Amino acid sequence: MKFLDLARVHIRSGSGGAGCASFRREKFIEYGGPDGGDGGCGGDVWAEAVEGLNTLIDFRYQQHFFAKNGQHGMGSQMTGKSGDDIVLRVPVGTEILEEDEETVVADLTEAGQRVLLAEGGNGGWGNLRFKSSTNRAPRNANPGHPGVERTLWLRLKLIADAGLVGLPNAGKSTFLAATSNARPKIADYPFTTLHPNLGVVGIDGREFVMADIPGLIEGASEGRGSGDRFLGHVERSRVLLHLIDGTSEDVASDARTVLTELAAYSPVLMDKPRVTALNKIDALDDETLAERKDALEAAIGGPVLTMSGFSGSGVQDVLRALWSRIAEGRAVDAPADTPEPWRP
C-alpha cells in the first residue's frame, strides 16, 4: 500500500428540509386547521480516528464527502426524515487543518476520537408551528437551513516514542531493521527510504515505537531533496536518535547540517531530548574512531555513543539511552494520582 501523509478533502453537510404548509382535510370536519410537519435536519460530517490505518491513501481516490439532505415536511403533521451523517475514517495521529494549511481544526491522537467538521442544517418549521389564537390558519412555512461547505487538509503525523534523524545513508534503516520487526528497504546509496517506517523495538523486557524518516540534506527546509515534509512524523516523539555516518570525512559538519535543518523546521524539535550516536564503527580502526568521536562531541557539545547497526556493537547501549528518556517523558505525561477524599 502506498504511503500518503497529506490529503485535501471537500466536505459539505446536508441541508435541512423545508417545512410543509398544509391543512387537515377530512370528511365532516369543516375546520381542520394546519397540519404541516417540519423538515428533517441535514446530515453532519464527522472525522473519527480509527486503529488499523497508517496512511491517507483512501483520500487520494475520493476527495468529496457530502452528507445527505433532510427530507421536506409533509401533511398530517409528518416530520421529514433527517439526512444520514457521513464519517471520515482517518489514522490515529491525523491533524485536520483549514484550507490555509496553518489553522488547526482538530488533532486526533487517540483511537475513537471524533470531531464534528460540518453541522447539518436545521429543518424548516411547518405551518403547524405558526398556529396561534390570532392566526388560526397560517399559510407560511420556513425553508430548511443550508449545509456547511468546507475545504480541509488532512495531515498525518505518525505517533512514535523515538524518531530517527540523520543525513541520507547514515544507517537509519539498517538500525531500524536490526532492532525491530520493521523491514525497510536497505541499499548502499542515498535516499533509499522514500517514506516513513515504523518499528516496535524491545529492550530489557520493554517496548517502544520508533519512526524512521527519509534523510535530511542541507537546504531541506527550503525544499531540497525530500524537504522537511517528513519531519512532522517525528514531531510527536519523546526523543530523537541522531545517527551520524562514522565513515564520513567530516562528522562534525554532518551533525551541524542536520541540527540546522531541525532548527529551521521547528524549535520544538530542537528542544526535544536527543541521543547522538556515531554509526558504522565496524568500518573504523580505533584511532580513527577516537578522533571522530572527539570531533563530534566538540561539535554538538555533548556525549556521543558509538555503535554499528550492521554488527550490533553498541546497539543495546543506544536503545537503553533512548528508553531512559522515553520513560522520563512518560512519567511527566502520566496523570498524577489524586488521593481519595478522607471520610470519617
pLDDT digit string, tens, across residues 176-225: 888 877 665 565 545 555 567 777 888 888 888 888 877 676 655 555 55
Euclidean distance between CA atoms 35 and 39, whole angstroms: 13
**What mean pLDDT comes out for the span 248-254?**
86
Closest CA to 97 of 50, 148, 157, 40: 157
Tell me what pLDDT residue 338 has.
43
246: left (phi > 0), else alpha (psi -120 to 50), else beta?
Answer: alpha
Confirm or deny that 326 is annotated as ligand binding.
Answer: no
Using DSSP, state whether 320 is helix, strand or coil: helix
Residues of the chain with pLDDT > 90, as a percent, come to 27
| Cα–Cα distance measured from residue 111 to residue 332, given in angstroms and rounded to the nearest whole number | 22
For residue 281, say whether it is annotated as part of any ligand binding site: yes
Q: Is 109 annotated as a binding residue?
A: no
C-alpha cell at 234: 517525528
Q: Look up residue 165 and give its three cell numbers.
A: 534523524
Per-residue pLDDT at 341:
47
Q: Which domains does the chain have, with CATH numbers?
A: 1-156 (2.70.210.12), 162-333 (3.40.50.300)
192 is in an annotated binding site: yes
Please indicate if the annotation marks 282 as binding a ligand: yes
295 is in an annotated binding site: no
Is 70 annotated in a binding site? The answer is: no
Helices (H) and strands (E) in the chain, counts: 6, 14
Residue 269 assigned ligand-binding role: no
| Ligand-binding site membership of 257 (annotated) | no
| 86 pLDDT higher than 90 | yes
At 171 the pLDDT is 80
How far apart (Å, rounded) are the C-alpha atoms in residues 305 and 280? 12
pLDDT digits (tens, 9 = 90+) for 115-153: 999 999 999 999 999 998 888 889 999 999 999 999 999
199 or 100, greater pLDDT? 100
Mean pLDDT of 310-327: 88
Is the model more confident about 227 or about 33? 33
Is 166 assigned a ligand-binding role in the annotation? yes
User: How many other C-beta atoms lie within 10 A of the C-beta of residue 68?
Assistant: 19
CA distance 305 to 132: 83
Helix (H, G, I), strand (E, B) or coil at 330: helix
pLDDT tier at 329 (50, 70, 90 boundaries)? Answer: confident
Q: How long a stretch of residues is the chain?
A: 344
- Please indicate if the annotation marks 170 as binding a ligand: yes
| Residue 199, strand partner residues | 210
191 is in an annotated binding site: yes
pLDDT value at residue 222:
57
Q: What's the grid cell of residue 125? A: 418549521
* Phi, psi (rounded to 5 degrees) for 279: -95, 170
Q: Greater confidence, 329 or 73?
A: 73
- The rounded Cα 156 to chain-centroid distance in angstroms is 4
The segment with the largest mean pLDDT, out of 52-56, 117-121, 171-175, 302-306, is: 117-121
pLDDT value of position 337: 47
Weakest-pLDDT range from 29-38, 180-189, 308-317: 180-189
Residue 44: predicted pLDDT: 94
In the block, which residue shows the cell 482517518? 90
Task: List residues bridging with 144 in a β-sheet.
Answer: none
For residue 131, give Cα distances in angstroms to 33, 35, 177, 249: 9, 10, 74, 88
Tell me if 57 is assigned to a ligand binding site. Answer: no
Tell me whether residue 213 is annotated as binding: yes
Phi-psi region of 223 (alpha: psi -120 to 50; beta: other; left: phi over 0): left
Q: Is 151 annotated as a binding residue?
A: no
Contacts of 118 (CB under 8 A, 6+ apart): 11, 12, 13, 44, 45, 67, 147, 148, 149, 150
Q: Is 212 annotated as a binding residue?
A: yes
* pLDDT number for residue 228: 59
Closest CA to 55 of 152, 193, 154, 153: 154
**Mode of pairing for the β-strands spanning 162-165 and 149-156:** unpaired
How far apart CA 235 and CA 211 sit, in angstroms, is 11
Q: What is the mean pLDDT of the chain?
A: 83
- The answer to the question of whether 168 is labelled as a binding residue is yes
pLDDT at position 53 is: 80
Q: Model confidence over 143-185: pLDDT tens digits?
A: 999 999 999 999 888 777 888 888 887 888 888 888 877 665 5
pLDDT band at 312 (very low <50, low <70, confident <90, very high): confident
195 in a labelled binding site: yes
Statement: residue 335 has pLDDT above 70: no
Cβ neighbourhood burial of 337 (10 Å; 0-12, 13-18, 19+): exposed
Residue of 175, 298, 161, 316 lying closest to 245 (CA atoms): 175
Averaged over 59-64, what is the pLDDT? Answer: 90
35 is in an annotated binding site: no
